[in-house]
Structure formats: C-alpha cells, structure tokens
Amino acid sequence: MKTIIKLVLASSILLFGILSMTSCGSSKSFDSSLKINTYTRDTTSGTRDGFFTAIGFKDAIKDDSLLHGVTITDSNGTMIQAIKNDTYGIGYISMSSLDGSGLKGLNYNSVAPTTDNVINGSYELSRNFNYIIRNSADMTERENAVVQAFIAYMNSKEGLAIIKSKDGILTTNINTAQSFSDIVNSNQTIKNIINDTGASVQINLGGSTSVEKIATALTSAFKEECKVFNPVHNHTGSSDAYKGTQGSAKDGTSKLHIGFLSRELSSSEVASENTSGFICKDGIVVVVNSKNPLENITKDKAKTIYESTSITWASANE
C-alpha cells in the first residue's frame, strides 16, 4: 500500500514537472509559414475605433462579422497577455501600455511608435482629441461662465495631469502650465462662478465615445472645484459634437454645451471663433509577439491582415 502511494506521489510530481516544462518551454523559432492570428478589442472600445479609423477599415468598428476568425479581448491588459501567449498573434494597444508590456510595438509606415513622433505628427496611428462649445449667445450667463471655467480647468496643470493619467498624450509641458488657482485669481468671471453657491447649472457634455474616459475624469474632478457644476454626459459619437453645440441639433433635446471629437472638425462643420480647441493626442500601437521578426507595418498591410480570412506571416511580409 505504502509503495503504491509513494509511486502515485512520485508520478504526480513528475507529471507536474512535465506540464510546467511544456508551459514554459516554447522557445521554438518563429515559423512564418503559419497563419496570422488577429486580435481585437470589443466594440465598445475607443482604441478599436481609433485603430480601424486610422487603417481605413471603418466598417469594422462596430461589426465583428467583418473580422474573420478574430479573437476579442476586453481590455489592454487581456490583449497584452493574449499576444504574449500567441507567437503568431497581432493586435493593437494604447501607446501608454506599450512600455513594460513585453510585446514588440511595430513601426507604422516606417515611423517608430514614440510619444515624440506622435507630438510632431509623423506617427500616423494617432488622432487628436478636440472640443467644441456653444456660442456664448446661445447660453445663459451662468452657463457660459461654467463652460469657460471648465475649459480653463482643462488647460490648467491639474486638468493636464488628469488627461495624462487617462492616457492622453500632451503637446504642452505640464510643468510650465498655470495651476488652476492662478487662473481663478486672474479671471474675475471664473472666480465668481467658482465661489457661486446658488442653484446648480446643468452642463450637457457629449460627442466622441473615445474621449468619454478623459471627459468624465475631468468633469468629476472639476465638480470639486466648482460646486454649481452639474455635468450630464451623453457620448454618442464625434459627429454629434458639432451638431449638438452649433449645428442642426443645437436647440433640440440632444443639445450640448460641450462636444468632444476624436478627429478634426470637417470642412462642413464651421465653428465660430474661439469656440473650439485641442485637448490632447491619442496614440495606438500595433503589437506582435517578441519572437516575431516583423518590424514595420503599413496602413494597407494592417487592413489586409484584419480583412483576410486566413493569411500567413510569410505572405504578409511580402
């Protein structure tokens, strides 16, 4: 009996050893005749929106069925772990997650994915986050004051820190930015509304869903500064930013005081003077497993890879 138990114990230790060996010992070289496994974020993700817009495959932003055999991950973290496990995988993550992820970030159209390249505009897998506000004539005096104070907060040291913490890439130096208390002291209108303790002022914010994370973080922090500020978020897409503030829907039920865009205003969206501006930049990186020899990817290649039913790494490298 005892020998049997010893035998069983010994064999189970051996089995465990073999299993842990196989789970770590995947040091085989890269075989480019194998299929590319594509990974994507789920349809609610802003990174997905940015990525498919940039590579010119807009139909796939909301439609999973166009991405044949794709694997869906629901966060940057899951995406990183998935590509780490899959030598033949390709995916995309937010630029701020690349450092320390253990993955290889590909050059996009031969430009390296660095924040410097995003800021100087040469890295094309990025986009600008912008805002647009209502004309002051369309707002009450107090609404106007709150909106102006919010915009000022957004550009203050505190506001920039929040944007940075939500993965926004800043083009201005955060250390030289004015702090919000300095701004308040130098501007009487803002000072008055900050110290106002009257009825709350409802401010409707909307537009791009990609900017929603940054926008909600900013509003919840700004609420602490400005007690009358009552933000209502309804993010439905960049196209509603102009429509709700200065366009066709500005007096409808979906009117906005501040609209956010994850792109530039188009030629048909003409904003009045001093009602729109830039918030920050957003960078996305195409990532592959560290064993993958690929260094560069072009816009067309990225689209081809995501469109194809099955494509090998060899044919993608041609």
Partner 1 sequence: MIFGFNMLTNALKKQKIDTIVKYIFMILTIFCAFQIIYIVLFIAIKGFTPFFRSYTLENGNIIHVNLFEMISSVSWNQDMADFGLLGIITNTIYITLISSLIALFISVLTALFIVRIAPKWIGIILNNVVELLASIPSIIFGLFGMGVINPMVSNIAFALGIQTKGGMSVLSVIIVLVIMMIPTITMITITSMKTVKKSLIEASLALGASKSQTDFKIVINSSKSGIITAFILGVGRALGEATAVSMVCGNAITGPNLNLFDTTRTLTSTMMLGLHEATGVNYDIRFTVGIVLILIILGTNLLLNKVKRRIS
For binding to partner 1 (CB under 8 A), which residues are involved?
A: 2, 5, 19-20, 22-26, 28, 34-35, 37, 39, 42-45, 62-65, 67, 70-74, 78, 81-89, 209, 212, 236-237
Rounded to the nearest whole angstrom, what is the least distance from the CB of residue 304 to partner 1 in the complex?
19
User: Least Å distance between CB 51 and partner 1?
Assistant: 15
User: In the bound complex, what is the minimum distance in angstroms from residue 23's beta carbon to partner 1?
Assistant: 4
Q: Give one DSSP letter per residue of the chain, joined into a string.
A: -HHHHHHHHHHHHHHHHHHHHHHH---PPP-TTSBPEEEEE-TT-HHHHHHHHHTT-GGGGT-GGGSTT-EEESSHHHHHHHHHH-TTEEEEEEGGGTTTS-SEEPEETTB---HHHHHTT---SEEEEEEEE--GGGS-HHHHHHHHHHHHHHTSHHHHHHHHHTTPBPSS-TTTSPPHHHHHHH-HHHHHHHH--SS-EEEEEEE-STTHHHHHHHHHHHHHH-TTEEEEEEE--THHHHHHHTSTTTTSTT--SEEEESSPPPTT--PPTTSEEEEEEEEEEEEE-TT----EE-HHHHHHHHH-SS-BHHHHH-
Work out how close the CB of 60 gets to partner 1 at its nearest, in angstroms, rounded to a whole number. 11
Q: Closer to partner 1 by CB, 24 or 199: give it.
A: 24
Nearer to partner 1, 26 or 175 (CB): 26
**Which residue type occupies 234?**
N
Q: From the CB of 2, what's the least distance to partner 1, in Å?
A: 8
Q: How far is the CB of 120 from partner 1 (least distance, A)?
A: 31
**E strand or H helix that includes residue 126:** strand 126-133
**Minimum gap (Å) between residue 94 Cβ and partner 1:** 14
Nearer to partner 1, 143 or 212 (CB): 212
Choice between 8 and 174, CB closer to partner 1: 8
- 44 or 120, CB closer to partner 1? 44
CB closer to partner 1 out of 72 and 170? 72
Closer by beta carbon to partner 1, 46 or else 105:
46
Residue identified by tokens 């966060």 is: 75
